[in-house]
Chain A
Amino acid sequence: KQEVTQIPAALSVPEGENLVLNCSFTDSAIYNLQWFRQDPGKGLTSLLLIQSSQREQTSGRLNASLDKSSGRSTLYIAASQPGDSATYLCAVRANSKLTFGKGITLSVRP
C-alpha cells in the first residue's frame, strides 16, 4: 500500500528565503508525482507534474525533483513571497490512483 509522507507539517519563513519542501513515498512503482497548492477554503491547483522517467520539472520560481529509487521528491521555491503562503501537497500516481500526503502548510512572513 502506497504511503506518502510530508514533513514538517508546517513551516514559517521570512520573505525572500529560498526553501525546500520534502515528500517521501514508500512504493517506487509510480507513474508520476504531482505537487499541488491549496489555499484556505479553496480547491487544489496543480503546480508541477513529474513523470516517472523524468528527474525534475521547473515552472517560474518553482523546481520539483524526483528520485524514484529512493522514494523522494522535493519542491524548491526560490525567493519566497507572502503570496506563496498556502498548503503544498505532494501526490503520487500508480495505475489510476492518486495518493496524497497530508501537506505542508507554508507561511511566508513579510
Chain B
Amino acid sequence: DTAVSQTPKYLVTQMGNDKSIKCEQNLGHDTMYWYKQDSKKFLKIMFSYNNKELIINETVPNRFSPKSPDKAHLNLHINSLELGDSAVYFCASSQQLGVADTQYFGPGTRLTVL
C-alpha cells in the first residue's frame, strides 16, 4: 500500500541515452516534486508541479523534462544522459502548498550513467 512509488528502483545506462523515471502517488495530493541527491548525499529540488502545472524549475538543464499527465503522476524524462546525472532521484508529494503540508517521499531511483 505504497503512498509514493517510483519505477524503476535502479537504472544503469550508457552516456548519451534517453531514459524516464515514473512516479505515482495515491494520496490524492495536488503537488508533486522531483529531487536529486548527489554522491555527497546533498538533496536538492529540481521541479515542482501543482495541479499538473509547473511551479518550480530550479535551473535544471533542459535535458530534463518533467511530465504530469494527471495529478497522481509526475514522470521525469532525461535526454542525452551525462556522467554527472548519476545520482538518486526522489519523487515527493504534498497535499498542497500550505504551511502545514508535509512532503511524502518515494523510495528513490538510483541512476548510474556509465
Q: A interface vs B, CB < 8 Å?
A: 31-32, 34, 36, 41-46, 49, 51-53, 87, 89, 91, 93, 95-100, 102-103
Q: Of A32, A51, A97, A103, which contacts B56 at CB under 8 A?
A: A97
Q: Knowing A42-B107, A43-B90 are in contact, say whether A100-B100 is a contact too (CB < 8 A).
A: no
Docked CA distance A49–B97 (Å)? 14
Q: Whole-angstrom distance from the CB of B9 to the nearest CB of chain A? A: 10
Docked CA distance A42–B4 (Å)? 13
Q: Whole-angstrom distance from the CB of A40 to the nearest CB of chain B? A: 10
Docked CA distance A102–B39 (Å)? 11
**B1 beta carbon closer than 8 Å to chain A:** no
Q: Enumerate 25 A-B pairs (CB-CB under 8 Å) in ascending A order.
A: A31-B99, A32-B99, A34-B103, A41-B108, A42-B107, A42-B108, A43-B90, A43-B107, A44-B92, A44-B105, A45-B105, A46-B103, A46-B104, A49-B100, A51-B100, A87-B41, A95-B97, A96-B48, A96-B50, A96-B56, A96-B97, A97-B45, A98-B45, A100-B42, A100-B44
Contacts of B13-41 to chain A: CB distance below 8 A: 31, 33, 40-41
Query: Chain B: how many interface residues by the 8 Å CB criterion?
Result: 26
Q: Which residues of B contact A45 (CB under 8 A)?
A: 105
**B12 beta carbon closer than 8 Å to chain A:** no
Docked CA distance A42–B110 (Å)? 10
Q: Which residues of A contact B99 (CB under 8 A)?
A: 31-32, 51-53, 93
Contacts of B83-113 to chain A: CB distance below 8 A: 90, 92, 97, 99-100, 102-108
Q: Whole-angstrom distance from the CB of B11 to the nearest CB of chain A? A: 15
Q: Which residues of B contact A95 (CB under 8 A)?
A: 97
Chain B residue at smallest Cβ distance from A53: B99
Q: Of B42, B55, B100, which contacts A102 at CB under 8 A?
A: B42
Docked CA distance A95–B97 (Å)? 8
Docked CA distance A55–B80 (Å)? 47
